[in-house]
Structure 1
Amino acid sequence: MGTGMGSGSDPSNLKRIQHRESPLVDVEVAGRERESQKCRVSNYCAASLHNFVAEEWEREKNDANGSSQKWEHVLSRAFTRADDALEDGIVAPRTVGSTALVVIVSACQIIVSNCGDCRAVLCRGNAILSLTRDHKPNRSDEVERIKNGGGRIIFFQGERVEGMLAVTRSIGDHYLKQWVTSNA
């Protein structure tokens, strides 16, 4: 999972942001659909991930000062909780997964976190700033992480983890979970 944080001061300002289902944070979740029954994992993430972020923020907010490291922990735990909830195969088969993107915007900062190849970009005028990096098997750091875990990158219609998955991080895809994680 990649996490970034824009400049700003106090993350408690996030309380002013409203979401239909969470008064704490404004979270946008995007899922890239793959394989049969692929929408189930994306829909689960869209319905649940913002709640996990809000719950993890409540746990963390009294412990530190709002640093980017604090947000990394919150978002990592939220992505892990979403991933863990799918492990039993009830929501979708263990061979199905989704990528995800969380964007939290307050008056003083932008916090983004992605899993897989979902992207966040910031555009102003003609300037474009990438806020995330894709988790793909053509990135040397991702290749090293997978190989260190005993996995392989196999070329089959492009680089793929074990010749099957075109992203190196996802929520779900538990059949490859030894190498494909939902967080950093």
Structure 2
Amino acid sequence: MQVASMCREKMHVVLEEKLMRMRNNVDMGDGSRSCGRWQPWEGQRMEEAWKRVFKSCFLRIDEMASRICSESSTVGCQCDCLPNALGLTGSTTVVAILTDEYETIIVANCDDSRAVLSRSGSAIPLSYDHKPDRGEERARIEACGGRVVFADGARVEGILSISRAIGDNYLKPYITSEPEMTFTKREAEYECLILASDGFWDVISSEVACEVGRVSSRRGSSWVFQGCGRSACSAAVLLTRLAPGRKSCDNISVIVVDLKRNHTAV
């Protein structure tokens, strides 16, 4: 939980810093400034720029996680523990950005938290779980000298059931913090975007989650759930309560973005 808390507190801060550096053209060096004004990228150039920003951001967060011990109660605390006691915990991470200039939904994920888009009632995956037995993930692990051992499912070195994470230093370089990214052009028929942790997706299908989001967006602010009037808030509250009811045994976090009204709730 320490690494997850640190990601919650620091991820958006570090990402903003990296974006400001990009806009100031400090580390891009590609001539994207003209007459003192930042010129937005287009197409493939835009995607590559965002990939560099997110890769740098996740790497920085991973470095911060390496200084957290399993007993630390303060986010980002640098304690007096021995070096081999640091960086033993980890976290899954998924981040989404809705850009104005490109009207694009950008998703970066590391691990098995997931982003799903509801489009006219259909569930569209915007991220893909990083499991050790996934073809390219297994090839990368083995190229680093690691092993994928099948013990109650595929596990890196027989220990961890995911192949990417923030933290978990004891399994590096087999475990990497580099995010995988998707870019989706925003369309009018998109209803909502749902981001949730693996404890939610373990028991709730993408289709069920999107149906809840779809119904709430249709009912809009008239649907009040436990005093929450916004449709995104109503959906988030309901979804977080559905997962424990289906016997989820893992951490449950849900964010719903109402794409019809630009509301976000956690």
Normalised by the shorter chain, which TM-score bucket? Answer: 0.7 to 0.9
Aligned partner of 1:177 among 172, 178, 185 = 172
Per-residue deviation, 1:90: 4.0
Tell me which stretches of 4 or more aligned residues in structure 1 moved more than 3 Å: 62-66, 89-93
1:83 matched to which residue of 2?
Answer: 62
Per-residue deviation, 1:124: 2.1
1:69 matched to which residue of 2?
Answer: 48
Aligned partner of 1:60 among 19, 22, 29 = 22
Per-residue deviation, 1:87: 1.3
Deviations 1:86-132 (A, max 9, x none): 21334754221001000011341111100001111110222221111
Alpha-carbon distance between aligned partners in 2 of 1:98 and 1:177, rounded to the nearest angstrom: 14
Aligned partner of 1:125 among 115, 120, 128 = 120
Alpha-carbon distance between aligned partners in 2 of 1:54 and 1:89, rounded to the nearest angstrom: 22
Gaps of 5+ in 2: 33-39, 73-85, 180-266
Residue identity opposite 2:47 in structure 1: S
TM-score, reference length from structure 1 = 0.75
Q: How many residues align?
A: 146
Aligned partner of 1:96 among 89, 95, 102 = 89
The alignment status of 1:147 with 2:109, answered yes or no, reads no
SS in 1 for 2:117: strand
Higher relative contact order (CA 8 A, sep 6+): 1
Q: Which has the higher helix share?
A: 2
Residue identity opposite 1:55 in structure 2: E
Identical residues among aligned pairs (%): 38
8 Å CA contact 2:2, 2:68 repeated in 1 = no
TM-score, reference length from structure 2 = 0.52
Give RMSD over aligned pairs.
1.5
SS in 2 for 1:122: strand
Residue identity opposite 1:97 in structure 2: G
SS in 1 for 2:114: coil
